[in-house]
Chain A
Amino acid sequence: MPIKWVLHWQPNAGTSVNSQILNEVSQCIEGINGTKDGRWKATLTFYKPMLREHSVAADLPRDFLGISLPEQPNKYFFVIRAQRIVLEADSSIQTIMEKLQSYKSRVSLNFEGFQYQLGDFQLRVGKVVPTHSENLRGIVMEVEYLPLSSIEKSRQIFEEFLEIWQEALSKRSLPGHFMHMEPNFTEYGLPDHYSSQHTAIQYATVMAQLIASVQSVQTMRN
């Protein structure tokens, strides 16, 4: 499948995300001739272990994530970043997890917004909001390059695209910038050929970054 990079909005020190930034980013894509062609939504769920009374979760994962992606609606992905595990399963695995009663959903976040076509690229920009809430927790952007599936072969194209994109966005003097943190896919046992499992790992990485930036803002305030 085509390779994509998932980026997150990194606010400048002392600032936070707001919906105005999201509007400006969307306008910027349209300004470089991106055409809107629909909405998208991905969902990320944090699971926590259900423990017997008086027991501790010492050796159980604290970062167990479940992810559903718009391009594979019948699939579901689990990621445990600390142990470098990504699992692809049918979406019925969620029913199995419910029946096992060992882990329960702690919080779910929606990644949702509009998608745009721009030549060989498909862009998706969206807000990160908890389900059943409108509190903006972050902004994400997916850049997908449709002709290629090899991570290594497409690296230069992505870097050049992002250079042009960052330059276009810089004219709007927004208080932050988009960042790409590339996970080490090899550690997860994934090949160079891109798949939805790569996307799931990127979402898990973006989520960790969003949590880290919220925590750093809170630390500064305190």
Chain B
Amino acid sequence: MVFVLQHVEALEILLQGLCGVHRERLRVHEICLKNGPNLGNVASEVRLLCDIEQPEPTWTVKHVGGAMRGAGAEQISVLVRTMVESKASKNVLRLFYALGYKLDHELLRVGFAFHFQRGAQITVTVSSVNKMLKLHATDEAVPVTPGIQLVEVTAPASSETYSEVAAAVSSFCEYLAPLLHLSKPGVSTGVVPTAAAAAASLMSDGGGTTL
């Protein structure tokens, strides 16, 4: 789920209150690779995520599959898609280059995340997306859309549990309604009319207000 938002501090206070856990800082260098012209039966894409928030950066290989389609998918308010991740050693970019994959684009996500259990293992990330002006130059990254943050709420599910997980994610998102409306990726919901007032209220009393 994606939304743009300007009241980041207020959202952080709200999430802190809702989740009961502390936020984790997020700084991820994301490298998107695509197969070369001769390789593979189909066009394929793989993402290499380097967590540069850690003292010793860690790498993850991520494959994002197509979204679930059909009447069942349309009835639920969240997007369901296959996603496979694997941790990998630091030379993973070199391996994929050797296998014939090419750099498509790269970006840097900076923000924070909350991980907690609420009917499902939910992760909320709030991040700004930055582009690099020079190859891999994460220190010189600039925001793609200044002042705008991306909010994503995700939870892992299996084919047996996805409807309950989708319900858990939707119900959690309702708590965020005064500040933002979350939508499926690609669908914009615009700014929530109550956002400014809700943010001001959260900022004034540190999240004590019942929304």
Q: Given A60-B100, A93-B61, A96-B63 in contact, is the A87-B44 Cβ separation under 8 Å?
A: no
Quick check: is B177 within 8 A (CB to CB) of the other chain?
no
Complexed CA–CA distance, A87 and B99 (Å)? 12
Contact A99 B63 (CB under 8 A): yes
Quick check: is B37 within 8 A (CB to CB) of the other chain?
yes
Quick check: is B46 within 8 A (CB to CB) of the other chain?
yes
Quick check: is A14 within 8 A (CB to CB) of the other chain?
no
> Which chain B residues lie closer than 8 Å to A219 at the CB level?
none
Complexed CA–CA distance, A78 and B89 (Å)? 11
Q: Given A52-B39, A101-B40, A101-B42 in contact, is the A89-B99 Cβ separation under 8 Å?
A: no
Quick check: is B71 within 8 A (CB to CB) of the other chain?
no
Contact A101 B89 (CB under 8 A): no
> Which chain A residues lie closer than 8 Å to B46 at the CB level?
96, 100
**Closest-CB distance, A176 to chain B (whole angstroms):** 35
Residues of B within 8 A of A (CB-CB), count: 27
Quick check: is B84 within 8 A (CB to CB) of the other chain?
yes
Contact B88 A87 (CB under 8 A): yes
Number of A-B contacts defined by CB within 8 Å:
91
Quick check: is B95 within 8 A (CB to CB) of the other chain?
yes
Interface centre among A55, A96, A189, by most B CB within 10 Å? A96
Contact A99 B84 (CB under 8 A): yes
Complexed CA–CA distance, A61 and B86 (Å)? 22
Interface of A is mostly: mixed
Residues of A within 8 A of B (CB-CB), count: 32
> Which chain B residues lie closer than 8 Å to A57 at the CB level?
38
Quick check: is A49 within 8 A (CB to CB) of the other chain?
yes
Contact B91 A85 (CB under 8 A): yes
Complexed CA–CA distance, A56 and B99 (Å)? 14
Interface residues of B in 125-181 (CB under 8 A from A): none
Complexed CA–CA distance, A64 and B39 (Å)? 14
Quick check: is B185 within 8 A (CB to CB) of the other chain?
no
Interface residues of B in 79-98 (CB under 8 A from A): 82, 84-89, 91-92, 94-95, 98
Q: Given A59-B100, A102-B99 in contact, is the A89-B38 Cβ separation under 8 Å?
A: no
Quick check: is B65 within 8 A (CB to CB) of the other chain?
yes
Contact B44 A100 (CB under 8 A): yes
* Interface positions of B (Cβ within 8 A of A): 35, 37-42, 44, 46, 61, 63, 65, 82, 84-89, 91-92, 94-95, 98-101
